[in-house]
C-alpha cells in the first residue's frame, strides 16, 4: 500500500510546466498554407524559449486517476539547470510530500507514510519506459522543448493553422499508424503557435507499448519579455489514464532561493 501511494505521489510531483495567448480578436490573423522547414522552426523555438536564473511560485492543481481524484496546493522553486524543489499539500497547511530533483537523481519524502525514496534517472527511465533526465523535467515545468532537437532529424507540417514538429516523417507516421505490429520507438511531436513561436503542446508516444505523455500549455503571461504558461495540463496514457492540471501563481524570477530538504531519522527508506 505504501509503494502504491508513493508511486501515485511520484507521478504527481514529477509531472507537476508555454502557450502564447492569441491576442485581440479584432486583429486579422494570417492564413498559413505551408509550414517552414524544421530547421527554421527549431531556430525560432530556441530564440523564444523561456530563460531565467531562478524561479519560485505557488502551485495549485488537480490529480485524476482511474481510482482516485484530489486537489492540492504547494510551492515550486527552480535553480536553472541545477535543482528543482517541490512541496505538495492537500490543504490546511499540512505538507504531504517534498521532492528534490537534482542533476543526477530524484529524492522524495512522503510525510503521510513517513518514507523516503531516492532514485537515479536510469532507474526511473527503466520504470516508465521513457528516457528521463533533469533537462526534460525542467523543460516540462517551464514549457520549453523537452526533446533535444539537435540529436536527430525533424520534420515539419501544418495542421489546423499550427506548425507541428515531429521526430519522424509524415510517411513514417502513416506507416506506423496503419501497421498491425507497432514498433517500440518513442515519437516526439510539438505543436507551435506560428504567430509567436510558443509551444501549445508536446507529446511523447510509444506506439508499440501503447503509452503516451502529452502536455498542453495555456494562460500565458509575459515575464522579462518572454512568455510563460501559467496553466499546464498533463495527460499520461499507459495501462491507466492519469490527468494532472497545474496552475502557477505569485511567480518570482531571478531571486536568491533556499532548498530545505532534510530526512527525519525515523523515516523508512524505500528502494
pLDDT of residue 30: 65
Residue 142 φ then ψ, to 5°: -105, 0
Residues of the chain with confidence (pLDDT) below 70: 1-30
Long-range contacts of 230-239 (CB under 8 A, 24+ apart): 232/17, 232/141, 232/143, 234/15, 234/17, 234/140, 236/11, 236/15, 236/211, 236/212, 237/210, 237/211, 237/212, 237/213, 238/210, 238/211
Cα 12 to Cα 230: distance, rounded to the nearest angstrom: 17
pLDDT of residue 29: 58
Alpha-carbon distances of 130 from 21, 24, 112, 177, rounded to whole Å: 31, 39, 28, 20
C-alpha cell at 109: 519524502
118-161: per-residue pLDDT in tens? Answer: 999 999 888 888 889 999 999 999 999 998 888 789 999 999 99
pLDDT of residue 185: 86
pLDDT of residue 167: 95
pLDDT of residue 183: 87
pLDDT of residue 152: 84
pLDDT of residue 31: 75
21: left (phi over 0), alpha (psi -120 to 50) or beta: beta
Amino acid at each position: 500500500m505504501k509503494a502504491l501511494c508513493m508511486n501515485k505521489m511520484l507521478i504527481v510531483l514529477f509531472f507537476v510546466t508555454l502557450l502564447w495567448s492569441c491576442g485581440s480578436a479584432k486583429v486579422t490573423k494570417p492564413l498559413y498554407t505551408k509550414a517552414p522547414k524544421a530547421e527554421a522552426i527549431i531556430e525560432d523555438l530556441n530564440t523564444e524559449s523561456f530563460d531565467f536564473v531562478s524561479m519560485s511560485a505557488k502551485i495549485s492543481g488537480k490529480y485524476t486517476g482511474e481510482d482516485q481524484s484530489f486537489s492540492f496546493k504547494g510551492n515550486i522553486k527552480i535553480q536553472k539547470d541545477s535543482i528543482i524543489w517541490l512541496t505538495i499539500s492537500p490543504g490546511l497547511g499540512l505538507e504531504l510530500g517534498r521532492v528534490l530533483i537534482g542533476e543526477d537523481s530524484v529524492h522524495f519524502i512522503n510525510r503521510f507514510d513517513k518514507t523516503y525514496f531516492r532514485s537515479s534517472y536510469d532507474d526511473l527511465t527503466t520504470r516508465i519506459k521513457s528516457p528521463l533526465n533533469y533537462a526534460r523535467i525542467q523543460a516540462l515545468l517551464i514549457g520549453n522543448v523537452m526533446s533535444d532537437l539537435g540529436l536527430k532529424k525533424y520534420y515539419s507540417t501544418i495542421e489546423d493553422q499550427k506548425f507541428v514538429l515531429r521526430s519522424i516523417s509524415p510517411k513514417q507516421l502513416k506507416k506506423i499508424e496503419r501497421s498491425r505490429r507497432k514498433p517500440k520507438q518513442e515519437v516526439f511531436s510539438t505543436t507551435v503557435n506560428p504567430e509567436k513561436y510558443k509551444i501549445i503542446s508536446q507529446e511523447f508516444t510509444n506506439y508499440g507499448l501503447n503509452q503516451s505523455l502529452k502536455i498542453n500549455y495555456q494562460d500565458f503571461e509575459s515575464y522579462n519579455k518572454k512568455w510563460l504558461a501559467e496553466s499546464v495540463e498533463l495527460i499520461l496514457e499507459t495501462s491507466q489514464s492519469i490527468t494532472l492540471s497545474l496552475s502557477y501563481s505569485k511567480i518570482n524570477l531571478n531571486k536568491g532561493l533556499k532548498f530545505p530538504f532534510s530526512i527525519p531519522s525515523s523515516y523508512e527508506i524505500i528502494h
